[in-house]
Amino acid sequence: MNPIRAIHSLGQSIWYDNIQRRLLENGSLQALIESGEIRGITSNPTIFHQAIARSDDYDTALVPLAWAGWEAEQIFWQLAVEDICLACDLFLPLYRQTQGADGYVSLEVSPYLARDAEATLQQAQVLWQRVNRPNLMIKIPATKEGLPAIRRAIAAGINVNVTLIFDIERYQEVMDAYLSGLEDRLAAGKEIEHIASVASFFVSRLDTKLDARLPADSPLRGRAAIANTKLAYAAYQQVFSGERFARLLAHGARPQRPLWASTSTKNPASPDTLYVDNLIAPGTVNTVPPQTLEAFRDHGRAALTLTDGLDEARRVLADLEAAGHSLAQANQELEEEGVRAFADSFTALLAAIEEKRRRAAAQIGPLSASVSARVARLEADSVASRLWRSDPSLWTDDPAAQAEIRKRLGWLTLPETSRARLAEIRAAAEDVRAAGIRKFLLLGMGGSSLAPEVLSLVFSAAERFAILDSTDPAQVLEAARRFPPAESLYIVSSKSGGTAEVNAMLAYFWHLSGQDGSRFVAITDPGTSLERLGRERNFRHILLADPTVGGRFSVLADFGLFPMALMGLDLEQVLASAAGMLRECRFETPAARNPGLVLGAVLGEAALPGRDNLRDKLTLLADSPLASFGWWLEQLIAESSGKQGQGIVVVEGEPVTTPEGYGHDRIFAYFRQSGEWDAAVASLRAAGHPVLEFPVSDGYHLFREFYRWEVATAIACHVLGVNAFDQPDVQDNKDRTNAKITSYSQKGSLDEPAPFWQDAGLRLFTNLPLKGDSLSGLLKAFLALADAGNYVAINAYLPRNKETQTLLTELRLKIRARTGCATTLGFGPRFLHSTGQLHKGGADTGLFLQITADPFEDLEIPEHGMTFGVLQRAQALGDYEALAARGRRILRVHLPQIQDLIRLLETLK
């Protein structure tokens, strides 16, 4: 028989002297419990110090607490209580199965209180209430001052693990305190049958102390601890077989089991299972560290050993006394050293947390006070609980808008509810692979396409998976070249089913494929025109997504999961990663512990007028493997927040410069994997810029961030007082575009205003009274309108490829250098489904440089009566008119050909 199973059959329970968040979250502790190897767990300040100081397991929890202004000791107790609650929940089935005999988890009061009975009792009561689990034990030290606290805690109905017992005389007092507490409780007319206690007798430290005083060849070396423990067990048997306990037993009392602690072997010359093999007896517990558990599992000996040799044990202790070694003195020293050691560990633990806290708090820098106040207000307003109750009044008082919001909060539980979709999604992906199709092109806009695009790059699948989210003829042609019908599957992705760009792309690739429905999969909401069309055309698959999830929140719905399945991602791991963040974002009290809520408080406060009365621009930094994450994040935040004159401007892809190159309107978010921006981040922080840091260990970890930022965006919109789930200004752009297309269908040409300046085919359009007689002068006059806190948005209706991105990035650098303002870059019509809402509905702080060009080659859109070039130009004109109608500062530069971008760059020398 396995030695551990054998020891349990002899009536002794093995508890685990170790706790660490990683063990709680990765299933390791669960496996030990289910295997039957451990039947309880103990913790102490030293264990927590090792767990927190030597790992980053707790950083996700610690950082928001630091941002919210919590102090180190507050943070410790929050983290410790969380671990204890998780462990209690894991052990609860065993606790119930054994009817409260086992399954306990121990949490120790502050070692600073070891000599203060009243403070010890108060903290024991607070911790008992915070954890609120029947299988919790509060550890109270068996100091003289601790004894009254033990008695009163037992009388109050608290399970107690009495710790730091070294000598038998003190042990007798501990047993008396337990029995007295039960008697007090009975006298008060309260039940006692559910109260449990253990008395933790520290074993090996006595040998360590006395062996150092004995001659090297003394036969007494290594024998005192076991002898002392044998006599302690004899004392236990005597007390709990006596009349006093018998009276309590009649009322359902449980014996206070002896627990052998400090049972790892300190002397390397002794067997590593010495203090397990020789301490086995019924009704006892041995709590062991990981290395001792492994050793006993491998070569331990399970036999009843503790009751043997009692006379010999007495002789050993008598011989030690005769040799001049006072057990009473040694044990008193051990108690004092134990109290001091735990206090020192606690001090080191708090110092380690303080260092982590200080570094985390430095990330938000000048926002600290406002964020702390905001988090307190969010908690007072029960914002987290209202979010989870789907309370639309968080964002609006309008009844119609509230009704719509209630239909848009399904994203909150997608890490859980999407599991029901996995079978169908996997089956569809398998069917595609079985057909020999290995290349995939997704036709979609905004929330339907951005997350799949990000993931194709993060997981190195871009050669076989791509998205098309443009009506630019050159981009459509390039997509058709890379993904020909004979080799490819076309995924038509549209929540509404009626997205104009998607319909145009579908028409083109449907015609290109020879109208072969087996080359198409549709992802849409139930009942849309796309679903009907897919069925009529016999698409290979039609996946109907959760209609309660808005497009930009749909990464964990079918819109994201089916592309992930085609890329070969482990969908269970995807959802498990996101579910880990979901659990943390379910924290309602304290609000400071909720990483999504606290990040939302930071983003919201930064977007309100602050330093120099400016609104901070969220500037994204990311290590190379994660660089594309900003594309999705920009859409999520800008389209959710940019309305009613509010909004968060997201600066994605802007080259990093020195701290002096930025104004006082920046907050940075760094997604860190390899640390390639560490030096730049350090410089930015030293200069006083807030820089939030989000470690991302691998691609799957990124799904925690997808979820965190969704929650944060919803909270930030609450702070700003806007509805996170609509996009009211997008429709105006669509209406103006449709009017242009209708006019084109009637006249055969698009209605365009006359340029106010032109030269060699290059034309300028503006709603501003600019003065100048050259391209250079007019462009510089436009940029001169930028004030501190403004941003310049380059909206390019051009092919999105490496060449244009390089040229436009150079243009961003020149504009930033000239204006000192943040710059953004969007490709049309892609950005219309991302930052377009912010441009029109956000604060009037933007200057908009729209760039259009005649296409080198145009393409007919089958059955649409127009070309892609016409559609793209109509969208640009609609965008221009929508901005001008709102009084936004806009300059449109129309190039005869794309190569004229270089000419535009030269004007800003």
* Catalytic positions: 139
Which among 702, 274, 691, 255 has a CA at the least distance from the CA of 457? 702
- Rounded to the nearest 5 degrees, what angle is found at the Cα of 294, between the Cα atoms of 164 and 203? 20
Q: Which residues on adjacent β-strands are paired with residue 762? A: 759
Residue 60 · residue 106 · CB < 8 Å: no
Q: Are 618 and 838 in contact (CB under 8 A)?
A: no
Given a contact cutoff of 8 angstroms between Cβ atoms, the answer to whether 650 and 633 are in contact is yes
Q: Note whether 162 and 174 are within 8 A (CB).
A: yes
Distances (CA, A) of 274 to 103, 271, 653: 25, 5, 62
Half-sphere exposure (CA, 13 Å, Cβ side) for 857?
5
Give the integer Cα–Cα distance in Å for 675 and 678. Answer: 5
Instruction: Give me Rg for the CA atoms of the chain.
Output: 34
CB contact set of 628 (below 8 Å; sequence gap of 6+)? 453, 454, 457, 458
Going 84 to 89 to 95 to 96, the CA torsion angle's sign is: positive
Q: How far apart are CA 26 and CA 598, in angstroms?
A: 25
Rounded to 10 degrees, the C-alpha dihedral 360/364/368/374 comes to -100
* Strands (DSSP E) found in 230-335: 257-261, 284-288
- DSSP three-state, residue 544: strand
Q: Show the tokens assigned to 252.
A: 């359902």
Residue 760 burial (10 A CB sphere; 0-12, 13-18, 19+): exposed
Q: What is d(CA 812, CA 792) in angstroms, rounded to the nearest whole number?
A: 9
Kind of pairing, strands 762-766 and 12-17? Answer: unpaired
With b for 16 or more beta-carbon neighbours within 10 A and e for fewer, the 885-908 pattern comes to eeebbbbbbbbeebebbebbeebb
Residue 288 and residue 290: Cα distance in Å, rounded? 7
d(CA 130, CA 125): 9
- Angle at which helices 327-362 and 72-97 pack, to 10 degrees? 120
Beta bridge partner(s), residue 890:
848
The DSSP 8-state label assigned to residue 616 in this structure reads P
CA distances from 276 to 15, 284, 298, 309 (A): 12, 11, 13, 16
* Alpha-carbon span 30 to 11, nearest angstrom: 22
How far out from the chain centre does Cα 862 lie? Answer: 46
Orientation of helix 327-362 relative to helix 45-53, angle to 10°: 30
